[in-house]
């Protein structure tokens, strides 16, 4: 395939919770005609999704057991970006929300957070005292609640919901479904899922050439190594699969061999980037650092060197980040489909 490289501006970020924490590290529902607004920056639930007065206790199963929520919460603290977005999409303004300290100013481009909400920086570990001071009646998180001890400390503060599965990144659709149960807004949750999935499906219909094409989502941490998503069931992979694409087979095989959902390889392994579409971040540098990757300029597919925010939106997807990332990625998708 002829090399077709299109580049977006690069964020000079020093780190990236990559691929859900600098290597530490999909489903559609039926919606009505008045479903949530299909915008790239703000997909929120309609007021009709307000919780019912007679909502009863809800039990949510997750990787550390189960959590019972007696009634729809009023003071929610989110400790990672996907849950920030899920709550905002559901019409709930968290009293405390996670920030990505490496996100360039002016912040997450698809989020509009309330001025009186408290920013929580978990770069050096979750600030438990700060979270407790917010007096939450619910705490939600996924990859930031990365061990049972963290879960238990948060649970001592308020009922806490962790990842529903063992994947590093949970498909955002599942988080929305959980939010629908907890908030007693199941109809709104289905409308949001249908709205965003509908936008992805529309692009898939418009670009049938994407069917069967391969993809890879990766970053190069300048001066370190490359990290590539290798789990086909990881939440970051669902978006590409909804477009009809398949994860680049050598990456899948490497992940199965190592047991890692995000493989860590040296910059010499450009052969693992030879997908039909490569979504790529230069983390902590700029385009000149691509010279550190032998053969990068000879990759045979469409190479999308993206900015930090867009790759975060793809890597830890949400109902708000996917429409934004889809718009940013559209030119590259068109080229890959040609």
Q: Produce one character per residue of 200-236: b if its CB has 16 or more CB atoms within 10 Å, e if not.
A: beebbeebeebeebbbbbbbbbbebbbbbbbbbebbb
Q: Rounded to whole angstroms, how far apart are CA atoms 276 and 213? A: 6
Q: Please check whether the two domains, 4-24+208-337 and 54-196, share a CATH topology.
A: yes
Query: What pLDDT is stored for residue 54 in this prediction?
Result: 56
The burial of 168, by beta-carbon neighbours within 10 Å (0-12 exposed, 13-18 middle, 19 or more buried), is given as buried
pLDDT tens profile 176-222: 999 999 999 999 999 999 999 999 999 999 999 999 999 999 999 99
Query: What pLDDT is stored for residue 55 in this prediction?
Result: 63
pLDDT tens profile 264-291: 999 999 999 999 999 999 999 999 999 9
Percent of the chain with pLDDT over 70: 84
Does residue 154 carry a pLDDT above 80?
yes
- Domain ranges, ordered by start, for the chain: 4-24+208-337, 54-196
- Region 306-313: what's the mean pLDDT? 97
Instruction: Give the DSSP H or E segment for 114.
Output: none
Query: What pLDDT is stored for residue 186 in this prediction?
Result: 97
Q: Rounded to whole angstroms, how far apart are CA atoms 232 and 245? A: 11
Q: Are 243 and 252 in contact, with CB atoms under 8 Å apart?
A: no
Q: Are 140 and 79 in contact, with CB atoms under 8 Å apart?
A: yes
- How many residues would you count in the chain? 338
Does residue 25 carry a pLDDT above 70?
no
Query: What pLDDT is stored for residue 74 in this prediction?
Result: 96
Q: Which two tokens stand for residue 288?
A: 């000149």
Q: Label residue 105 by pLDDT band (50, 70, 90).
A: confident
pLDDT mean across residues, the chain: 87
Which superfamily is assigned to 4-24+208-337 in CATH? Nitrogenase molybdenum iron protein domain (3.40.50.1980)
Q: Label residue 165 by pLDDT band (50, 70, 90).
A: confident
Does residue 19 carry a pLDDT above 80?
no
Of 83, 86, 123, 119, nearest to 102 by C-alpha is: 123
Q: Please state, in angstroms and as integers, the Cα–Cα distance from residue 156 to each residue in 25, 129, 219, 324, following that order.
A: 25, 11, 36, 36
Does residue 168 carry a pLDDT above 90?
no
Q: Which residues contact 239 (CB under 8 A, 6 or more apart)?
A: 26, 200, 314, 317, 322, 325, 326
Neighbouring-strand partners of residue 118: 96
Q: Rounded to whole angstroms, how far apart are CA atoms 273 and 303? A: 9
Q: Rounded to whole angstroms, how far apart are CA atoms 226 and 228? A: 7
> What topology does CATH give the domain 54-196?
Rossmann fold (3.40.50)
Q: What 3-state class would DSSP assign to 129?
A: helix
pLDDT tens profile 55-104: 679 999 999 999 999 999 999 999 999 999 999 999 999 999 999 999 99
Q: Rounded to whole angstroms, how far apart are CA atoms 176 and 181? A: 9
Does residue 8 carry a pLDDT above 70?
no
Q: Are 65 and 47 in contact, with CB atoms under 8 Å apart?
A: no
Does residue 24 carry a pLDDT above 50?
no
Q: Are 272 and 216 in contact, with CB atoms under 8 Å apart?
A: yes
Does residue 241 carry a pLDDT above 60?
yes
Residue of 78 and 166 predicted with greater confidence: 78
Is cis: bond before 106, omega within 30 of 0? Answer: yes
Q: Rounded to whole angstroms, how far apart are CA atoms 305 and 208? A: 23
Complete DSSP assignment for 28-78: -----TTPSP--SS-----GGGPPPTT---EEEEETTEEEEESS--SSEEE
């Amino acid at each position: 395939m002829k090399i077709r490289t299109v580049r977006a501006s690069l964020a000079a970020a020093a780190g990236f919770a990559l691929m859900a924490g600098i290597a530490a590290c999909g489903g559609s529902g039926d919606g009505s005609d008045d479903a949530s607004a299909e915008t790239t920056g703000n997909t929120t639930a309609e007021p009709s999704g307000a919780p019912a007065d007679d909502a009863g206790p809800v039990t949510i199963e997750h990787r550390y057991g189960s959590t019972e929520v007696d009634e729809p919460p009023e003071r929610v603290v989110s400790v990672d970006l996907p849950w920030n977005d899920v709550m905002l999409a559901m019409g709930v303004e968290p009293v405390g929300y996670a920030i990505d300290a490496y996100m360039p100013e002016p912040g997450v481009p698809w989020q509009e957070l309330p001025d009186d909400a408290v920013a929580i920086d978990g770069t050096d570990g979750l600030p438990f005292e700060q979270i407790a001071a917010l007096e939450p009646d619910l705490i939600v998180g996924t990859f930031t609640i990365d061990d049972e001890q963290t879960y238990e400390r948060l649970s001592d503060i308020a009922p806490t919901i962790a990842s529903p599965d063992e994947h590093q990144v949970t498909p955002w659709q599942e988080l929305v479904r959980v939010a629908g149960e907890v908030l007693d807004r199941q109809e709104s949750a289905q409308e949001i899922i249908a709205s965003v999935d509908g936008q992805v499906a529309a692009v898939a219909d418009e670009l049938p050439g994407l069917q069967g094409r391969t993809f890879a989502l990766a970053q190069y941490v300048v001066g370190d190594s490359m990290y590539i998503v290798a789990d086909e069931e990881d939440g970051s992979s669902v978006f590409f699969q909804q477009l009809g694409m398949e994860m680049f087979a050598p990456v899948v095989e490497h992940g199965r061999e190592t047991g890692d959902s995000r493989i860590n390889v040296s910059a010499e392994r450009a052969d693992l980037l030879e997908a039909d579409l490569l979504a790529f971040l230069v983390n902590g540098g700029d385009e000149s650092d691509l010279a550190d990757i032998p053969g990068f300029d000879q990759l045979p597919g469409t190479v999308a060197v993206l900015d930090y925010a867009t790759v975060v939106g793809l890597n830890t997807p949400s109902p708000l980040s996917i429409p934004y990332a889809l718009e940013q990625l559209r030119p590259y998708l068109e080229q890959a489909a040609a």
